[in-house]
Structure 1
């Protein structure tokens, strides 16, 4: 399995790219069951008034709904490693991130019908752009056109934009906007700085998407946004991913760079959990937008 030059060039030009049928059916089913358990656990904790910092619960609809669950490595390390070591993801790291690729953080977003939250226009994690920095979306459910799927404005990844001015003038329909649907088992990769959003979902049920950020370790250390110790633990995380992957898919230089894991997986998870450091914050409109169709579409007001 290799990523075509057309896909690579599309990503470099537009800042996002879609891969169909990227997960095996077996792995997809495992991840769906995992996300079901996470949601049940989060809601149980919410109703018993337990504070759990990994979870964000929305009550906008009057019914508690899980919006996001972060740090999935802490919940099922073996399944996380299996997923990150799957063939398509390995090819994404090789082709779109390159040498020294490491995972930064991994969470799942649950999207329910309006008035459950939508995602307004934003750019994730502004940085110097000397190294690739990707967000990989792994779809556990279908995301359909006109149903709150991701919206991108192609070729906007190169600099910080005036998001307030753009969204205030155009709402959801910034010039050249592209809606990108996906099916369960697909992957959408986007440059962390491409302008993107996700409007109101209209169909029933949840749409679950796993998001994992990847970056070369040199990009982390040279940015100074996280410590070298934090970055080294991510390198160890990647060493476990490489060990679990098909050996024939891993370049020899990667074996030499990452080496054998220094810690067993259980110990590594404890070390990562004991050293939290905040991610680079995303950029949104600096004040509330006034627009007749944004962020809430006029027919839903």
Structure 2
């Protein structure tokens, strides 16, 4: 018997709306350990930034509050064992098994940090565009609460099936296009989304930082057929998944899905190879020009007074 299974209703809901929340499905002991890692990486990034240096794997932004970490990428290189254990947990195995299917492999794993306004807003966008012949998942594992009305994710259900007119929707509706859903989450929740669903998030109003671990999962065959990355890059992801399967409970993976190398190898050696063979990810799609709306991207009550005057002039 599987340790975690999606219900038929959950699978249908994901297929229809393009996102799905799995409450409390990220084990508490993993949440605690990732919080410690997130704290350490944040301190490390800010220290490097304070010395006037830059790192390939992180982004520190300067705003009127001071320097703040926005994201830390390439977690396989920075928390290898913990990431493998996370990908092998029952809920993550269920998502790979039931929503991605045979050949599922992890592509990237990154930590996103969201601080109180004026930290950057995440405007409406769609993830990596693809031909949709294969699933492509973006899975968020929450380390902190994302409360309603406090900059949690917003989705427009059903927009995952093709490219959307992001500029027009933003200009006409701001944060409230037809059918929009504001999706709160609690620490320990997993929120999985179709890579192409239209989504974004308003400013965070409360104090403190919100951390979310994001993992992209896609069938290995999709990478090969798309030509988006090299065959070497794709094969390294199969070997990465082999490490995950070796850690997972055998009950959580079909024995006949024999698409992964069975050769045992040291995780440290694999990480070194993946580091040496870095290739850029497929980019997200954003508005191609600045968009002006009275409540978007920063709501009017959070804007400086001089910017409110400019916006009134534009509207009139």
Alignment of 1:229-240 (within 5 A): 229-240=232-243
Deviation at 1:165, TM superposition (A): 0.6
SS in 2 for 1:253: coil
CA shift for structure 1 position 259: 3.6
Residue of structure 2 in register with 1:78 after alignment: 81
In structure 1, how many angstroms separate the alpha carbons of the residues matched to 2:147 and 2:292?
27
TM-score (norm: length of structure 1) = 0.98
* Per-residue deviation, residues 129-186 of structure 1 (Å, max 9, x unmatched): 0000000000000000010000000000000011001101110111100000000000
Structure 2 residues without counterparts, runs of 5 or longer: 304-316
Secondary structure, in 3 states, of the residue corresponding to 1:59?
strand
Aligned match of 1:209: 212
Partner Cα separation in structure 2 for residue 132 and residue 284 of structure 1: 21
Cα distance in 2 between the residues matched to 1:171 and 1:261 = 52
Question: Where does the alignment leave 5 or more consecutive residues of structure 1 unmatched?
Answer: none
Match of 1:142 among 125, 145, 159: 145
- Summarize the alignment of residues 72-221 of structure 1 with structure 2, pairs less than 5 Å apart: 72-221=75-224
RMSD value over aligned CA atoms?
Answer: 0.9
Tell me the alpha carbon deviations over residues 110-132 of structure 1, each in whole angstroms, 9 at most, x when there is no partner: 00011001100000100000000
Question: Is this contact kept in 1: 2:113–2:210, CA < 8 A?
Answer: yes
Q: Which residue does 1:265 correspond to in 2?
A: 267
Q: Structure 2 CA distance, aligned partners of 1:122 and 1:25?
A: 31
Please state whether the residue corresponding to 1:138 is helix, strand or coil: strand
2:277 is aligned to: 275
Contact 2:238 2:261 in 1 (8 A): no
Q: Secondary structure at the match of 2:237?
A: helix
Shift of 1:261: 4.2
Structure 1 equivalent of residue 288 of structure 2: 286
Take 1:48 and 1:287, find their aligned partners in 2: how far apart are those partners?
Answer: 34
Q: Distance in 2 between matches of 1:7 and 1:250?
A: 19
TM-score, normalised by the number of residues in structure 2: 0.93
Deviation at 1:205, TM superposition (A): 0.2
Mapped to 2, the partners of 1:264 and 1:131 lie a distance apart of 30
Query: What do the CA deviations read for 1:63-93 (whole angstroms, capped 9, x no partner)?
Result: 1110000000000110110011011100011
Residue 161 of structure 2 aligns to a residue whose secondary structure is coil
Task: Please say if residues 236 and 262 of structure 1, whose CA atoms lie closer than 8 Å, have aligned partners that are also in contact.
Answer: no
2:15 pairs, out of 7, 12, 16, with: 12
Report the Cα distance in structure 1 between the residues aligned to 2:274 and 2:35, rounded to whole angstroms: 25
Specify the SS of the correspondent of 2:149: coil
For 2:42 and 2:194, the matched residues in 1 are separated by 28
2: distance between equivalents of 1:98 and 1:138?
A: 20
Q: Give the length in aligned residue pairs.
A: 300
Residue 262 (structure 1) shift: 4.9
SS at match of 2:238: helix
Answer yes or no: is 1:295 the counterpart of 2:297: yes
Higher Rg: 2
